[in-house]
Chains A and B, each alone.
Chain A
Amino acid sequence: MANITKKVSWSSRADESGATGEGTPLLNGSEQPRHSRQLSEGRSIFQIGRLSTVDLEEEITSDEDSLRGRPKEIPHNEKLLSLKYESLDYDNIENQLFLEEERRMSHMGFRCLEISRWVVCGLIGFLTGLIACFIDIVVEELAGIKYQVVKENIEKFTEVGGLSISLILWAVFNSAFVMVGAIIVAYFEPIAAGSGIPQIKCYLNGVKIPRVVRLKTLLVKVGGVICSVVGGLAVGKEGPMIHSGAVVAAGVSQGRSTSLKRDFKIFEYFRRDTEKRDFVSAGAAAGVSAAFGAPVGGVLFSLEEGASFWNQMLTWRIFFASMISTFTLNFFLSIYHNKPGDLSNPGLINFGRFETESVAYNLYEIPLFIAMGAIGGLLGALFNVLNYWLTIFRIRYVHRPCLQVMEAMLVAAVTATVSFTMIYFSNDCQPLGPEHTEEYPLQLFCADGEYNSMATAFFNTPERSVRSLFHNQPGTYNPLTLGLFTLTYFFLACWTYGLAVSAGVFIPSLLIGAAWGRLFGILLASITTTGSTWAVPGKYALMGAAAQLGGIVRMTLSLTVIMVEATGNISYGLPIMLVLMTSKIVGDYFVEGLYDIHIKLQSVPFLHWEAPATSHWLTAREVMSSPVTCLNRIEKVGTIVDILSNTSTNHNGFPVVVQVAGNDEPAKLCGLILRSQLIVLLKHKVFVELARSRLTHRKLQLKDFRDAYPRFPPIQSIHVSQDERECMMDLMEFMNATPYTVPQETSLPRVFKLFRALGLRHLVVVDDENRVVGLVTRKDLARYHLGKHGLEELQLAQT
């Protein structure tokens, strides 16, 4: 409360307003005399307040005053909101152009639109499946070559001596691959780093993350994933599939590529944020479905992450996209495996089948599973805390691209070193199984015909290691091997996540969990004398994997369904659900989920499911930004250009007001217009004078706005001559005539609900006579969050 009032007390100073909050003017710009139009009664009260308190403030904050000239600088932390993120314009702009277009559109037109939505969803699924297939095949081939070369080298040097050379060879191989991956990410597209799930979560939440759904991002992502998995990092290729699916969706649905400068002239109707966001949720679902072979899980993922704006038809279409995606992957992988038509690879990760009698569970095992969930929650919380500190350090100190590349290479080299040392010193030798699931068995110092058990876990792609932990017969691993493996892989995975490479955290989490889960199962069997009959280690490995994953990412519904679908065993539904619930409860007691931590560390204005508790006493008046830059219904071009080109404010929505009668009466709200619309209007020079002189001038249509989407030109690129500055613009046709408004006394949770449910970007606060008092935007709401000491407020910062 104290810091809130302090900040508020600053706000009414005129020269302070070089500030943010979409909709605040810069009053010190001397050539903008018309800005003070928004003078209202509320404002005059504030002025009185300011006058009366001005002396007091000067006394108290004289030293702070000196700082006021230059902005305060603080080291990066998680309690910031970045200015570079904007909201999506999810709300439909119902202006006159829109109504006209709707009137012109026939019944058939709407039908075609619906059909093309389905076509787009099918295409999204198909292309996402193809990308998954491509990644899988390339990773398999390249990793095969790498492991074969290293294996032959190790075999050679086991005999003649000089194994340290094999170690160096392995490390160099890894570093080289990872270097390529890190260079393309760090130098070409930093947004492609990490798993991409936090970014997609933000996008579905309604935040426009710059460059997140571009073609270039997709290319870097795919290349980066291949490099980092082949480079042997403790990462998976599943998380990035979700991002890839989202990019595919955003690209396909637009029917053109701005990067390639190709316009196929199709799907033009979908060129706006509303439609695009819907398709992106379909793409994310298709990505999940291709990654895990879990179409329903994919739909539920989109539902869980983007649940605020939802409808049933959309769900059905998303499900279609998911199904197509998993089928495509399945089909093409079956061709790759030379068994066309044998549809047994529904996802990138294949948990194998849990179908035999021995893996059925008993009622008395459920408490054990719950205990495993608690362990998973604890370990997950530890993972997240460690990764949190590491990420803060990285943001503060390792921010130059060359340093990021070096760091990634070091991690790759150390991963190889640690793995090699573990394998070298392991004494756990096991006979080769009859089916021989190990692709690259390493013998080293084991007896002939046996292989090093540690090597099956380390000397393998992580997906294969997970599967062998789930399915190898009891006795394949000894407890010491598993314990050491869990420990090292835990720290490696924690260290790896957040590097400047594109890679996911799903598989490493599953692997850690599977390892300690299997260990748990083995110990259980050794404690109970009769245990060997029911304590099948594979089952406990699965539960451990679920617990660990749940403890790290804290997803609920979708993760349960994904796990159930990936195992292909419905009867595991309840235990998996219980495990995930426990791990979430235990983990949330200590720290948030990994994705939420990263969203916070990126200073994204993310709106959670609910407004923070105990925030009902806050009203719209305290939340909103004020005063607001408003425009007249008929506005001078010069003013608009000046407002838009003001670099210190990057406002996006401007309430349009109308003067009632005479100058002394305050203006009333009549609409809302967006920056993008104004820019298009300026570009097409829709001025009143010009329209009068040239009667043949083509009337502006909605198509013109769509053509400029999504990269509206910056205001600087639009030339407005001195004569044109004196012209007038009539905003009547283009503005949204019925913007959502709330009275000043509305409580924060109510405003919050409106924002979440309607996907708003601007919410105008009006007084009882419909005069603009303030403007609430996403950043105004997202800054409140429940911290350790009650309600806290985040600060805005330039990043």
Chain B
Amino acid sequence: MSPHRHGSFWGFIVFNIYVLVSGDGGNLTASETPPLSSVVLSSAAFKPGLGSLLSLNLLSSFPEDLEISDYCSQLLLIFGQRYVAYVNCLVPAARPVKVCQNCFSSYGSLTEIFSNISSDQVGPGNVSCRDSLLRSDRLMLVYELFENLKVLWEKSNCNNCITKGFQNMTSDTLHFMTTLNQTLTCFEQYQQKNKTELCTNCKTDYKNLNVLYGGMEKNKTMCIDIEDAMNMTRRLWSKNFNCSFPREETVPVIAVSSFMLFLPIIFYLSSFLHSEQKKRKLIHPNRAKSYSSLMNIQDNRS
């Protein structure tokens, strides 16, 4: 272990603290903080051990130019921290889905560090970390890890709910959330009482929510959070509270359709009875008398 490596390690500690302080936006709850910091601590404690392990197993004597530079290993470490932070945020937000609203800022910082790694920019010491970190081996671990999370992010359509630069949620999303909360409060209010009362009283709220959702669906400004919340609300409304429309006009529908079905029968009967049947005039073609028939006739005569 060279001394300047230890120096960079101190830099990391400082950086980690910065991460912790800047945090995951306003949404980072208090309960999520301790495990995060403990991970940071443990990884920090693990680091020297890892180093010694490496020095035992492998000769730490790759030539200087094949080793990754300090700058790059520093970037790599930051990437690791932020990666862990993001995953830690994601997992508790899996059900009910809140991956966009809770974790957008940690995703933002993750993409920031990845773009640093993958940029062409030459860092101190005239080295580019893109080649050394991203594609110097078959596994391409860093790249694959980031790509997985990116696919997740894209699948969840979070970009639709978050402003550019991962600053905040869009106003549409916030508006939807307030409407949703309004509806849910209404549900809670009447839940204990009569179900039919709930259906009539919360109808306007629920309908507003549906209209809002429909509009967002059309504009394609939806992310998984909104979809999931809406799905849950709908399920509550239709399955739990049973507020769907009942099938109650069976008689008129049957009457109209049997009238319609009756029409063709009348049509065919009347055309059978009143329309004159089309006849074809037969025509007898001229044929030569065949020998065989001729023979027959002559036989008859004789």
Interface residues of A (CB under 8 A from B): 5, 7-12, 16-17, 19-21, 24, 42, 45-46, 49-50, 52-53, 56, 71-76, 80, 83, 158-159, 161-164, 167-168, 171, 393, 395-400, 403, 406-407, 410-411, 413-414, 417-418, 420-421, 424, 444-450, 619, 621-622, 624-627, 773-774, 779-780, 795-799
Cβ-defined contact, A398 with B253, below 8 A:
no
Binds A, one of B1-9, B63-71, B228-236: B228-236
Cβ-defined contact, B288 with A622, below 8 A:
yes
Q: Which chain B residues lie closer than 8 Å to A24 at the CB level? A: 285-286
A168–B237 alpha-carbon span in the complex (Å)? 31
Max chain B CB contacts within 10 Å: which of A10, A161, A413, A449?
A449
**Known A16-B286, A164-B256: A447·B238 in contact at CB below 8 Å:** yes
B61 touches A (CB below 8 Å): no
- With A11-B287, A73-B281, A163-B253 known, 5 other A-B pairs at CB within 8 A are A7-B284, A56-B300, A73-B279, A447-B244, A627-B286
B137 touches A (CB below 8 Å): no
Q: Within the complex, what minimum Cβ distance (angstroms) separates A402 from chain B?
A: 11
Residue among B238, B256, B271, B289 making CB contact with A12, cutoff 8 Å: B289
B245 touches A (CB below 8 Å): yes
B57 touches A (CB below 8 Å): no
Q: Within the complex, what minimum Cβ distance (angstroms) separates B61 from chain A?
A: 48
Residue among B277, B288, B293, B301 making CB contact with A396, cutoff 8 Å: B277
Cβ-defined contact, A622 with B290, below 8 A:
yes
B124 touches A (CB below 8 Å): no
**Known A75-B278, A445-B244: A621·B288 in contact at CB below 8 Å:** yes
Cβ-defined contact, A449 with B231, below 8 A:
yes
A627–B285 alpha-carbon span in the complex (Å)? 10
**Known A73-B282, A164-B255, A448-B237: A5·B296 in contact at CB below 8 Å:** yes
Cβ-defined contact, B285 with A72, below 8 A:
no
B275 touches A (CB below 8 Å): yes
Residue among A396, A421, A445, A773 making CB contact with B257, cutoff 8 Å: A421
A624–B255 alpha-carbon span in the complex (Å)? 62
Q: Which chain B residues lie closer than 8 Å to A397 at the CB level? A: 271-272, 275, 277-278
Q: Which chain B residues lie closer than 8 Å to A406 at the CB level? A: 267
A199–B22 alpha-carbon span in the complex (Å)? 78
> Residue of A at shortest CB range from B273?
A397
Q: Which chain A residues lie closer than 8 Å to B300 at the CB level? A: 56
Q: Which chain A residues lie closer than 8 Å to B272 at the CB level? A: 393, 397
Q: List the count of A-B residue pairs having beta carbons below 8 Å apart.
A: 196
A134–B280 alpha-carbon span in the complex (Å)? 40
Q: Can you list 9 A-B pairs with a CB-CB distance of less than 8 A? A: A19-B284, A24-B286, A49-B289, A397-B271, A410-B263, A448-B234, A624-B288, A625-B287, A779-B285
A413–B244 alpha-carbon span in the complex (Å)? 29
Q: Which chain B residues lie closer than 8 Å to A424 at the CB level? A: 247, 253
**Known A626-B287, A799-B280: A161·B256 in contact at CB below 8 Å:** no
Cβ-defined contact, A417 with B261, below 8 A:
yes
Q: Which chain A residues lie closer than 8 Å to B298 at the CB level? A: 49, 52
Cβ-defined contact, B245 with A159, below 8 A:
yes
A754–B278 alpha-carbon span in the complex (Å)? 36
Q: Within the complex, what minimum Cβ distance (angstroms) separates B200 from chain A?
A: 13
Q: Which chain A residues lie closer than 8 Å to B234 at the CB level? A: 447-449
Q: Which chain B residues lie closer than 8 Å to A17 at the CB level? A: 286
**Known A414-B260, A448-B234: A622·B287 in contact at CB below 8 Å:** yes
Cβ-defined contact, B264 with A448, below 8 A:
no
> Residue of A at shortest CB range from B238?
A447
A1–B272 alpha-carbon span in the complex (Å)? 36
Contact with A along B237-276 (1 / 0, CB 8 A): 1110000111111001111110011011001100110010
Q: Within the complex, what minimum Cβ distance (angstroms) separates A248 from chain B?
A: 33
Cβ-defined contact, A75 with B277, below 8 A:
yes
B30 touches A (CB below 8 Å): no
> Residue of B at shortest CB range from A73?
B279
Q: Which chain A residues lie closer than 8 Å to B280 at the CB level? A: 73-76, 80, 797-799
Q: Which chain A residues lie closer than 8 Å to B285 at the CB level? A: 7, 11, 19-21, 24, 625, 779-780, 796
Q: Which chain B residues lie closer than 8 Å to A773 at the CB level? A: 288
A399–B279 alpha-carbon span in the complex (Å)? 11
Q: Within the complex, what minimum Cβ distance (angstroms) separates B56 from chain A?
A: 46
Residue among B235, B256, B296 making CB contact with A449, cutoff 8 Å: B235
Q: Which chain B residues lie closer than 8 Å to A448 at the CB level? A: 210, 234, 237-238, 244
> Residue of A at shortest CB range from B290?
A622
Cβ-defined contact, A167 with B231, below 8 A:
no
Residue among A8, A449, A779 making CB contact with B293, cutoff 8 Å: A8
Cβ-defined contact, B287 with A446, below 8 A:
no
Q: Which chain A residues lie closer than 8 Å to B139 at the CB level? A: none
Cβ-defined contact, A8 with B263, below 8 A:
no
Contact with A along B151-194 (1 / 0, CB 8 A): 00000000000000000000000000000000000000000000
Q: Which chain A residues lie closer than 8 Å to B297 at the CB level? A: 9, 49, 52-53, 56
A449–B213 alpha-carbon span in the complex (Å)? 11
A445–B249 alpha-carbon span in the complex (Å)? 12
Q: Within the complex, what minimum Cβ distance (angstroms) separates B1 from chain A?
A: 50
B46 touches A (CB below 8 Å): no
B62 touches A (CB below 8 Å): no
Q: Which chain B residues lie closer than 8 Å to A52 at the CB level? A: 297-298, 301
**Known A396-B277, A622-B290: A445·B283 in contact at CB below 8 Å:** no
Q: Which chain A residues lie closer than 8 Å to B284 at the CB level? A: 7, 10-11, 16, 19, 796
> Residue of B at shortest CB range from A16?
B284
Residue among B268, B282, B293 making CB contact with A71, cutoff 8 Å: B282
A21–B284 alpha-carbon span in the complex (Å)? 9
> Residue of A at shortest CB range from B251?
A164
A510–B266 alpha-carbon span in the complex (Å)? 31
Cβ-defined contact, B288 with A74, below 8 A:
no
B58 touches A (CB below 8 Å): no
Cβ-defined contact, A414 with B278, below 8 A:
no
B294 touches A (CB below 8 Å): yes
A76–B282 alpha-carbon span in the complex (Å)? 10
Q: Which chain B residues lie closer than 8 Å to A168 at the CB level? A: 256
Q: Which chain A residues lie closer than 8 Å to B239 at the CB level? A: 447
Max chain B CB contacts within 10 Å: which of A45, A53, A161, A411?
A53
Q: Within the complex, what minimum Cβ distance (angstroms) separates B70 from chain A?
A: 46
Q: Which chain B residues lie closer than 8 Å to A795 at the CB level? A: 282-283
A463–B7 alpha-carbon span in the complex (Å)? 69
> Residue of B at shortest CB range from A68?
B284
Contact with A along B1-31 (1 / 0, CB 8 A): 0000000000000000000000000000000
Q: Which chain B residues lie closer than 8 Å to A49 at the CB level? A: 289, 294, 297-298
A626–B286 alpha-carbon span in the complex (Å)? 6
Cβ-defined contact, B264 with A414, below 8 A:
yes
Q: Within the complex, what minimum Cβ distance (angstroms) separates B227 from chain A?
A: 10
Q: Which chain A residues lie closer than 8 Å to B246 at the CB level? A: 445
Q: Within the complex, what minimum Cβ distance (angstroms) separates A761 from chain B?
A: 17
Cβ-defined contact, A46 with B288, below 8 A:
yes
> Residue of A at shortest CB range from B217?
A436
Q: Within the complex, what minimum Cβ distance (angstroms) separates A352 from chain B?
A: 22
Q: Within the complex, what minimum Cβ distance (angstroms) separates A439 from chain B?
A: 14
Q: Within the complex, what minimum Cβ distance (angstroms) separates A432 from chain B?
A: 10
Q: Which chain B residues lie closer than 8 Å to A410 at the CB level? A: 263-264, 267
Q: Within the complex, what minimum Cβ distance (angstroms) separates B243 from chain A?
A: 9
Q: Which chain A residues lie closer than 8 Å to B252 at the CB level? A: 162-164
Max chain B CB contacts within 10 Å: which of A42, A407, A418, A622?
A622
Residue among A5, A393, A403, A445 making CB contact with B290, cutoff 8 Å: A5
Max chain A CB contacts within 10 Å: which of B237, B245, B283, B292?
B283
Q: Within the complex, what minimum Cβ distance (angstroms) separates B76 from chain A?
A: 36
Cβ-defined contact, A398 with B286, below 8 A:
no
**Known A8-B289, A397-B272, A773-B288: A74·B283 in contact at CB below 8 Å:** no
Cβ-defined contact, A71 with B281, below 8 A:
yes
A399–B293 alpha-carbon span in the complex (Å)? 41
Q: Within the complex, what minimum Cβ distance (angstroms) separates A779 from chain B?
A: 8
A76–B298 alpha-carbon span in the complex (Å)? 36
A320–B286 alpha-carbon span in the complex (Å)? 47
Q: Which chain A residues lie closer than 8 Å to B275 at the CB level? A: 397-400, 403
